[in-house]
Structure 1
């Protein structure tokens, strides 16, 4: 089922064209990642897809009644403000204790309901933001550089959780990321942006595209070498777990 279709989408920010002639779609249950250098228009494109920016030209069609959950880069919170996780999850809309417990469990932090927001680690904070997005029962989950404050193992852990959420809830995921070394392992389709769509396809196809390599270097060093190593490691790790489970 097609959730969002953009055709010939051209977007401006502050009177300047930052994204031109984009054709793209997002289908139910798939993970689509937007990568590109700083200033390449990634966040602007997301805003255009969800209707927060009116296009200069082109159009966006969304599935009727689509529910979108949004996980921001981070939230600046007043460290002195006493606010429990439960109360935070009820801003701006109240939710039942059961619904909040389910969302926190799904996000991988089932025991944090009574914790103070100001005491959370970076990883816990992002999981709580994820739980807040999951309370929407989203058809589409949007992560806008959602691992920006996390170290590499923390980011990889967060993306594995996103894969679990996608499988369990069958929601689509749109990720904006500069974490090339971990994000590729979790993606079905990658769009490389630089004011327009330079190239798109599976991580492997994008890795080999000259347009991608011109922006990020070749796959034999840097981001993709780390990605391949991690991807292989996770597969071995998962297999070891499965063998252990069946032993």
Structure 2
């Protein structure tokens, strides 16, 4: 059974007396990629903030493994274009040494950008530098908020491939927030469909057939989940739980 990193049970959050998250459960485990999907206002950001410990729930509880190291990648970051900030100096702001910076950039595939100015990076390059920043401390849990926003389809596929490799290298858990219902679905072990509450969750193939998912997103979103594939030495049951097997299995 994979090691449990975070366990949120029956959490609810109120704002001005209105429930923006109701009775939601979320379990994050080492070695697994979990993706939160849902419409705008569904409570995805609120649930992530609970996981990060930035807010507290009015009801329910969030357990985190003691001393849990979390790496966070925001949607985007604004850097004044007049600021002469190189990639190396930007990453050094996270109090990382040169060796850690070099290693992180190599792991995300942009080692050649070490001395490049941040203001000159493309959207895809910027996202990879932000990912490098998130893994500097070798996190046990990696949290990514819309990580491929503004990146083209080819770049998205490459990013998700890199993310899968990082999960294997670092043996970390991954929590992703996404509006994308195509590439990201196939890059995920467990999908949690949220709309103020958890509508459905499990392996992507099970979730995309669930009536709650189809009601929110429609049947025309289902064909795209086979664009990207990844491999594991385990399979999943209909609830998304891991079932160990002897050989690799491909999920598409």
Using structure 1 for the length normalisation, give the TM-score. 0.89
Name the stretch that deviates more: 123-132 or 8-17: 8-17
What's 2:250 paired with? none
What's 1:208 paired with? 209
1:231 to partner: Cα distance: 3.5
Distance in 2 between residues matched to 1:36 and 1:214, nearest whole Å: 11
Change (3 A) 1:217 1:124: same
1:24 to partner: Cα distance: 1.8
> Would the aligned equivalents of 1:11 and 1:48 in 2 still touch at CA under 8 Å?
no
Structure with greater helix share of residues: 1
Q: Alpha-carbon deviations, 1:109-138, whole Å to 9, x = none?
A: 111111000000101100000000110210
Change (3 A) 1:103 1:65: same
Distance in 2 between residues matched to 1:16 and 1:85, nearest whole Å: 42
What's 2:116 paired with? 115
Q: Which runs of 5+ in 1 are unaligned?
A: 236-247
What's 2:46 paired with? 44
What's 2:105 paired with? 104
Name the stretch that deviates more: 26-35 or 144-153: 144-153
> Would the aligned equivalents of 1:11 and 1:53 in 2 still touch at CA under 8 Å?
no
Q: Which of the numbers 22, 25, 32 marks the counterpart of 2:24?
A: 22
Change (3 A) 1:17 1:99: same
Distance in 1 between residues matched to 2:103 and 2:140, nearest whole Å: 17
Matching of residue 197 in structure 1 with residue 195 in structure 2: no
Structure with greater strand share of residues: 2
What's 1:244 paired with? none
1:62 to partner: Cα distance: 0.2
Distance in 2 between residues matched to 1:13 and 1:110, nearest whole Å: 44
Change (3 A) 1:97 1:190: same
> Would the aligned equivalents of 2:187 and 2:228 in 1 still touch at CA under 8 Å?
no
Q: Which runs of 5+ in 2 are unaligned?
A: 232-252
Matching of residue 85 in structure 1 with residue 87 in structure 2: yes
Using structure 2 for the length normalisation, give the TM-score. 0.88
> Would the aligned equivalents of 2:11 and 2:60 in 1 still touch at CA under 8 Å?
yes
Matching of residue 225 in structure 1 with residue 223 in structure 2: yes
> Would the aligned equivalents of 2:181 and 2:224 in 1 still touch at CA under 8 Å?
no
What's 2:74 paired with? 72
Structure 1: 4+ residue segments shifted above 3 A: 13-16
3-state SS of paired residue (1:111): helix
1:16 to partner: Cα distance: 3.2
